Structure 1
């Protein structure tokens, strides 16, 4: 089997945990009024979509029979 002639230095892996960058990310800019309004609008649209899907989806999840109603078939009703 092939064997390496020189050892692989693993010291750089140990140094990677201790490394600290001297580059500082730029400070965050304050959120403007238009961006705040757009985020609020998107949140309201998502919430309205979830509420609407729940409102329109619940009737389709119900079984066709209610517990208080008696079952009647068309044949038993007669003409």
Structure 2
């Protein structure tokens, strides 16, 4: 025995079955595949480029042995 459903349309939706089949999915054309590939490569190249350009700012500065000195610390 099924539990009572407060809304009639919810109960009727269990019995509804469509006899209409959806159309088959269209395969992407060669130009669409090429466009998607180029967009993907552009995104990846942008991420790699930002990582490469951002690496110097992520460096702690101790590895090079160079210390930045201001003119005030020269003792003049």
Task: Name the TM tier (shorter chain).
Answer: 0.5 to 0.7
Q: Which residue of 2 aligns with 1:12?
A: 9
- What's the TM-score, normalizing by structure 2? 0.64
Large movers: runs of 4+ above 6 Å: none
Q: CA RMSD in A?
A: 2.9
**May I ask how many residue pairs the two structures share in their alignment?**
68
Structure 1 unmatched ranges of 5 or more: 1-8
Structure 2 unmatched ranges of 5 or more: 1-5
* Structure 1 pair 26–72 and aligned structure 2 pair: CA distance change class (3 A): closer
* Structure 1 pair 46–71 and aligned structure 2 pair: CA distance change class (3 A): closer
Given the alignment, which residue of 40, 43, 55 partners 1:43? Answer: 40
Q: Which residue of 2 aligns with 1:5?
A: none
Alignment partners' CA distance in 2, 1:71 and 1:37 = 49
Q: CA offset at residue 48 of structure 1?
A: 0.4
Q: CA offset at residue 72 of structure 1?
A: 8.4
Q: Which residue of 2 aligns with 1:4?
A: none
Q: Which residue of 2 aligns with 1:58?
A: 55
Rg comparison, structure with higher value: 1
